[in-house]
A and B are shown apart, each in its own frame.
Chain A
Amino acid sequence: MIKLVSVYKEYPRSGLALKNVSFHLRKGEFAFLIGPSGAGKSTVLRLIHMAERPSDGEVRVSGYSSARMKRRDIPRLRRRVGMVFQNFRLLRDRTAAENLSFALEVSGARRGDIKGRVQRLLAQVGLAARAGAYPDELSGGEQQRIAMARALIHDPVVLLADEPMGNLDERASRGVFDLIRDINSSGTAVLMATHDLELVRRYSGYRVIELSEGAVVYDSEVADAVS
């Protein structure tokens, strides 16, 4: 469903960020993407979201291929791929509900449907009561839940999470991670970049892909197959 085939990514000034990266994430699968800072985790996520194009190799996402994709096809892909970030990226001059309705409106939802869907999304992330709150009135954990609700507006096949708990304390992190697992258990694949090795160890049943200096140095799935 998501497949990276010998992907290289070179940035103009900083050189090779990814070297010969290949992996396959199946429908509904969960995988941690780990590695030291600068290893290329965010770059992998941006490639899957087609915010970047590979310098070489191919990125395939849900029937789309980086090799054949035109700029005008990207919006349709993005509606299949939800993404959240460490810094939430909510619009600060809009309430929680307005952030969601804005995202729905601009990505082609029918206007009649928007109100109902916003309410359902808020309920899904457990924030129905905070619909009218502005981001600054929400805790970090709550803001990340709104951001996740926004990533889910079009029922994506995969949720890309770039250090989603990077800015959160212990308790808020647990809440957000529980939500991510909820989302995964309802059939959405998850690829989550994280620094939190403690968390990765605790959920040792999940697949782990480790990057170092732009190369995949460990993939638990491949390792299991070998051993």
Chain B
Amino acid sequence: MPYHSVREAVAAFRRAPGLALLSATSIGLSFFVLGTFGLVTYNVDVTLRGIERRVEVVAYLRDDISAAQLELLQNDVRSFPEVEGVNHVSKFEAMRNAMQQLEEFRDVFTDLELNPLPASIEIQLRPDFRDPESVERVANLIALYPFVEDVRFGREWVDKIFQLRRLGGAVAAILGIAFAIVAILIIGTTVRMAVLARREEIIIMRLVGATDGFIRRPFLLEGFITGLVGGVLALVLTYGAHLVVDGSLIDLEWLPSLWTAGGVLAGGLLGLLASGSALRRHLVSYA
């Protein structure tokens, strides 16, 4: 009987608006911290992805490589499943790049007849293969070609990026769990007080033959709504924080709508779960 549940849940909010507000607020604050963290994580992720896109393997070529051999090498490498693109940098281009980037270089090398810089090919990897193992595997394969002098890849970079992301994930998970526990405790207390406030009614319901599900439903609905309200509150606070920081300190991207919708829904589900487990503990005493 959804009508009864809705009416009772609304009555519960009316009966103790302060308590309902308190628990919604506490869920809101917990999720706000999570939301802020999500915002940071998301932006770190966006930045990381930008850095990651630059992960490439560079193969320096011997000066005596022929045009045909170069062609062969490029075609070979391009056919690797890990490889997204291959870009050839000739000796001349290498010199021109160097001179653009380094002024000292310009002075030393302008009139040199002999160009000391080797030609190279720059190899871009597909997104799925930018992890340290794949990068190393590709680099080792390319090093096997006879006219490849040397292979370089940003090994430390690659490792660092992945360490950062793993650390971020772990911190987010720990904080997330900690705040979820706090929110569960608060909702549990709220439900317990709601159960106490409706003690007499529950006794009568049991007496006249109401089912467990029927007795539970208004409390579950109340928990769900409280969680949802908390989720929306967290969303508003997080967006406020985003507005304040974005533009004034650094440029921040706002979260994808799947994250925000998921966050609000997670608030509702957390409320539902917390009141469900609190009910399991507090309704048993009513025979």
Q: Which A residues have a C-beta under 8 Å from some C-beta of B? A: 46, 51-52, 71-72, 74-79, 83, 89, 91-92, 102-103, 105-108, 111, 150, 153-154
Q: Is the CB of B208 within 8 A of A103?
A: yes
Q: Which B residues are CB-close (under 8 A) to A154?
A: 208-209
Q: Is the CB of A78 within 8 A of B287?
A: no
Q: Is the CB of B209 within 8 A of A75?
A: yes
Q: Is the CB of B208 within 8 A of A72?
A: no
Q: In angstroms, how far is the closest chain A Cβ from the Cβ of B206?
A: 8
Q: Which B residues are CB-close (under 8 A) to A91?
A: 200-201, 204
Q: Which of B186-214 contact A (CB under 8 A)?
A: 200-201, 203-212, 214
Q: Is the CB of A52 within 8 A of B207?
A: no
Q: Is the CB of A107 within 8 A of B209?
A: yes
Q: Which B residues are CB-close (under 8 A) to A89?
A: 200, 203-204, 207
Chain A residue at smallest Cβ distance from B214: A106
Q: Could you pull out 20 A-B pairs where Cβ atoms are within 8 angstroms?
A: A46-B287, A51-B206, A71-B212, A72-B211, A74-B209, A75-B210, A79-B209, A83-B207, A89-B200, A89-B204, A92-B200, A102-B204, A103-B208, A106-B215, A107-B209, A108-B210, A108-B211, A111-B1, A150-B208, A153-B208
Given the interface contacts A105-B1, A106-B4, A111-B3, does A75 sit within 8 Å of B211 by beta carbon?
A: yes
Q: Is the CB of A106 within 8 A of B208?
A: yes
Q: In the complex, what distance in Å separates the CA atom of A52 from the CA atom of B206? A: 13
Q: Interface readout for B113-132 with A: 1 if CB under 8 Å, 0 if not?
A: 00000000000000000000
Q: Which B residues are CB-close (under 8 A) to A71?
A: 212
11 more A-B contacts (CB under 8 A) besides A51-B206, A75-B210, A106-B205? A75-B211, A78-B208, A78-B209, A89-B203, A102-B201, A106-B208, A106-B214, A107-B209, A108-B211, A108-B214, A154-B209
Q: Which of B229-287 contact A (CB under 8 A)?
A: 287
Q: In angstroms, how far is the closest chain A Cβ from the Cβ of B205?
A: 5
Q: Interface readout for B96-116 with A: 1 if CB under 8 Å, 0 if not?
A: 000000000000000000000
Chain A residue at smallest Cβ distance from B215: A106
Q: In angstroms, how far is the closest chain B Cβ from the Cβ of A17?
A: 15
Q: In the complex, what distance in Å separates the CA atom of A51 from the CA atom of B208? A: 12
Q: In angstroms, how far is the closest chain A Cβ from the Cβ of B13?
A: 17
Q: In the complex, what distance in Å separates the CA atom of A19 from the CA atom of B212? A: 31
Cβ-neighbour of A51 out of B211, B212, B215, B287 (below 8 A): B287
Q: Which B residues are CB-close (under 8 A) to A78?
A: 206-209
Q: Which B residues are CB-close (under 8 A) to A150?
A: 208
Q: Which B residues are CB-close (under 8 A) to A111?
A: 1, 3
Q: In the complex, what distance in Å separates the CA atom of A103 from the CA atom of B212? A: 15
Q: In the complex, what distance in Å separates the CA atom of A76 from the CA atom of B210? A: 8
Q: Which A residues are CB-close (under 8 A) to B201?
A: 91, 102
Q: Which B residues are CB-close (under 8 A) to A75?
A: 209-212
Q: In the complex, what distance in Å separates the CA atom of A106 from the CA atom of B200? A: 13
Q: Which B residues are CB-close (under 8 A) to A46?
A: 287
Q: In angstroms, how far is the closest chain A Cβ from the Cβ of B240?
A: 41
Q: Is the CB of B210 within 8 A of A107?
A: yes
Which 7 residue pairs are nearest across A and B when measured between Cβ atoms?
A78-B209, A79-B209, A106-B210, A51-B287, A75-B209, A103-B208, A107-B209
Q: Which B residues are CB-close (under 8 A) to A107?
A: 205, 208-210
Q: In the complex, what distance in Å separates the CA atom of A72 from the CA atom of B201? A: 19
Q: In angstroms, how far is the closest chain B Cβ from the Cβ of A144?
A: 15
Q: Is the CB of A103 within 8 A of B204?
A: yes
Q: In angstroms, how far is the closest chain B Cβ from the Cβ of A79?
A: 4
Q: Which A residues are CB-close (under 8 A) to B3?
A: 111
Cβ-neighbour of A72 out of B4, B204, B206, B212 (below 8 A): B212
Chain A residue at smallest Cβ distance from B200: A91
Q: Is the CB of A76 within 8 A of B203?
A: no
Q: In the complex, what distance in Å separates the CA atom of A185 from the CA atom of B242? A: 75
